[in-house]
Amino acid sequence: METTVADVLPDLLRALAAAFIAGVAPGWFWSMLLVPSSDRAERIGYSVALSLALVPAVVLVPTKLFGLGVTLPVAVVSALIVFTGGLAAYLVYGSAKGTDDLIGTEPGGLGLVVLVPLSAGLVVALVTALGFLPLGWAMIPIGVLIAVAGAAHLVASGRPAGIERGVIADSLGLRERRSASLALMAIVLAMALFRGYSGPVLHDWPFIRGVDHYSHAVMANLMMTRGEISPYLIYPPGFHTMTAMVSRFSGLDPLEIFPVLGPALMVLPAIALYVLANRLWGWECGVAAAAFSVMLGGTYYYFNDAMYPNLVTSQFLLVLAVAALVRLYGSPSVRSGLLLALLGSSVVLYHPVASMYLALLLALASVLLLPYLLLRERRTGLFVFASFAALAVLAVVYAWDTYDLPRAIAGLVDGAEAGTTGDAVGMAVGTQAVYPMDFLIGTMTSPPVAWLGLLGVFLLVAGLLGRDGTSQKLAYIILILWPVIIFLGSRLSMTGFPQRFGRDLGVPLALLGAFAFIAIIRSLGPRRAVAVFAASLSVLASATIVGLQELQSLESASRPSVQMTMTPGIAGAGEWLEKHNTGGNIMVSPHANQVPSRMMLAMGHYPGLQSFAEYQVEHPRDLPPTGKQPLKDVLWVMNNPEGGRTLHLLQKYEVRYVVLYKDMPDRATLDYWRLFDRRPDLYRTAFENGDVLIVTRHAAAE
């Protein structure tokens, strides 16, 4: 029977209420304590980020000290500690002092020498977007024309460059600006939610697209029962701790949470980009940056593949950590330093690749900017140094157990065995191909974001050459380094994750692209006819390609997904496994990667064994900390249902059931099931349908 919205509405409401209790409310007073802002969207964004930073950190104390899982009492007490701690600090110290002054200079209009090549480049981009030119061919002339426009702006930046403030900023009062900001942000967030929910509502429910959520379900279950993720994977516990808390508060299994709550995560990049752009250049840039996030291909890829921790970390927490850093440059204080330390270190708690971005960015900031500050801006420099030091200490604490830092550091120093973390890094380096440039720009980043982001880089460089204050220059250097680091990482397979870098490149470019887009709009005004024509053409072309990309992103999100791995038959087998889980382990037939076994482990609530295809075992990139041997043992049993060694392995791993796929919707299956089906003398059929066969060893055969 087809599932309707009404069928899942109770689960959705329970999950949203639990997410609010665990992931929004605890950080509310902390945001008021640490962030001086009257903007509601900004306040909510920081409240979510601080909840994600503080709640898991508190939960991990009893799990590490006492070996507790994330039980309901642990979840309730931890959320209350964070909430009441923030309330108490707020009552004692009051709200953060400061104003809503912008860190950067609002974008002004562009001059004629800029608009002429820019309008030409944007027209070629529009012709390409309409399908009249292939992107691969058009990339060079578009990039050259926009670079020429940017270079012209650099040359002209010492002279008046047109309209300094546009009609949007001048025609609205404070109250009207806030109302317009809230209304437009409501529309943008509705678009983000449509992009997330339309596909599941129309095609997926009660299931959800993607493959990684099965692993996340296993790790969330491990956090609930054991309070640790090992030995399933080497993975930081932040996301799965929060998932465990939502599960406890809502009463839903993690696999029931993801279909109803996973699409809501699509609003996080929009909120984060709004917060950062709004604080830099005002609400117009904030809304534009949020809107640009709705067309990022990398954001949707993370959702469509169920890479939820990547999305939460590199496209939300990292963005707000950058916002905290530029705030610290603009208003150095204990509170702004603490904000950066908490948000920056939380990145380490959620995902290793985003931690790599942040480490590189802060390392360059320390080398390039901190010495200058300590020499010329002593007060700011000391606050920045103290905040970086606090961030580093917290990051080491969070990473200590997850990555076995003592052993990993010892391996780097004396060449000794580096442990599972070192092995995991070694497996990843050089094994992933980089995205072709037309795919990186055309799919992962989206062309309007790429072209306008490129122009935005030149506009920021021009800001560095101007006479504006030190805080703006420091912020602009960070905003330029951010996309440069990620772009270079996306072109080098030695980073280990060039495709992850490529999926995240659109985030900083969306920020810079929004700045450029507002500058183009503000170029309109009473000017010479040629300038009016060039400005009008630039506005029309840029707005059209942005609008077309937004519509295309929303339309493609409503289509069926090729990432749907579940069928009612496979789900039925998983439900049977869960009902008959009395301990021990299962072995699952391997097919084309680790996903099929992780599906059954997640549905059956088993922590292992995982199974990998033979090629993946011999050419590893993503192996569990247990190493290759258990994976080889599973392969042996699948190929040899009979024999003394098989019996020994089944007993060694306490295998209760052998789960064998007969059919899958997204990949070819190998007929391991036939080998077991032919031995009724050794194995009894416990469950069978058209997709899955589950057998158990006869007691008499052991």
Q: Please indicate, yes or no, whether residues 499 and 603 belong to a single structural domain of this protein.
A: no
Assess whether 270 and 180 both reside in one domain.
Answer: yes
pLDDT band at 524 (very low <50, low <70, confident <90, very high): confident
Please check the confidence at residue 315 and state whether its pLDDT lies above 70.
Answer: yes
User: Measured on CA atoms in the order 392, 394, 400, 403, is the torsion positive or negative?
Assistant: negative
Is the bond preceding residue 206 a cis peptide, omega within 30 degrees? Answer: yes
| Whether pLDDT at 159 is above 70 | no
Mark whether 584 and 502 lie in a shared domain: no
Residue 217 has pLDDT above 80, yes or no: yes
| Confidence check: pLDDT of 302 > 70 | yes
Q: Which pLDDT belongs to residue 440?
A: 94
Q: Does 472 share its domain with 383?
A: yes
| pLDDT tens track for 346-402 | 999 999 999 999 999 999 999 999 999 999 889 999 999 999 999 999 999 999 888
CA distances from 501 to 60, 423, 439, 449, 515 (A): 29, 21, 13, 16, 22
Note whether 502 and 586 are same-domain residues.
no
In this structure, is residue 145 part of a structural domain? no
- The length of the chain is 702
Q: Are residues 653 and 511 in the same domain?
A: no
Does residue 549 lie within any of the structural domains?
no
668 occurs within a structural domain? yes
Domain assignment of residue 59, yes or no = yes
Over 50: is that where the pLDDT of 168 sits? no
Domain end: 473, 488, 516, which one?
516
Per-residue pLDDT tens over the stretch 475-521: 999 999 999 999 999 998 888 789 999 999 999 999 999 999 999 99
Whether 592 contacts 667, CB under 8 Å: yes
Q: Are residues 581 and 448 in the same domain?
A: no
Same domain for 97 and 219, yes or no, is yes
Domain that holds residue 447: 5-106+165-402+433-516
Asked whether residue 407 carries a pLDDT value surpassing 90, the answer given is no
The predicted pLDDT at position 427 comes to 55
pLDDT reported for residue 6: 77
User: Do 573 and 504 fall within a single domain?
Assistant: no
Q: Pick 619 or 8 by higher pLDDT.
A: 8
CATH of the domain at 670: 3.40.50
Is there a domain that residue 326 lies in? yes
Q: Mean pLDDT lowest for which of 326-335, 467-476, 672-681?
A: 467-476
pLDDT per residue as tens digits for the range 9-62: 899 999 999 999 999 999 999 999 999 888 888 999 999 999 999 999 999 999
| Among 539, 546, 30, 45, residue whose Cα is nearest residue 278 | 45
Alpha carbons 108 and 515: distance in angstroms, whole number: 10
Closest CA relative to residue 478, chosen from 289, 272, 318 = 318
Per DSSP, helices labelled H in 580-659 are: 595-604, 614-618, 629-639, 644-652
The reported pLDDT for the residue numbered 279 is 92
pLDDT at 668 over 90: no
User: Residue 426: inside a domain, yes or no?
Assistant: no
Number of domains in the chain: 2
For residues 587 and 468, membership in a common domain is answered with no
Same domain, 85 and 188: yes
CA neighbor of 98 nearest in space, from 338, 339, 330, 346? 330
Q: What is the pLDDT of residue 73?
A: 95
Helix ranges, 210-333 (H): 212-225, 238-250, 254-261, 267-281, 283-293, 297-304, 308-312, 318-330
492 and 607 belong to one structural domain: no
- pLDDT of 209 reads 87
Query: Strand pairing of 655-661 and 585-588?
Result: parallel
Q: Phi then psi for 585, rounded to 5 degrees? A: -135, 170
List pLDDT tens digits, range 70-102: 999 999 999 999 999 999 999 999 998 877 778
Q: Is 415 part of any domain?
A: no
Point out the domain boundary residue: 516, 531, 558: 516
Confidence at 164, pLDDT banded by 50, 70, 90:
very low
Residue 532: the pLDDT is 86
Domain assignment present for 76: yes
Please state the φ and ψ torsions of residue 657, each to the nearest 5 degrees.
-140, 150
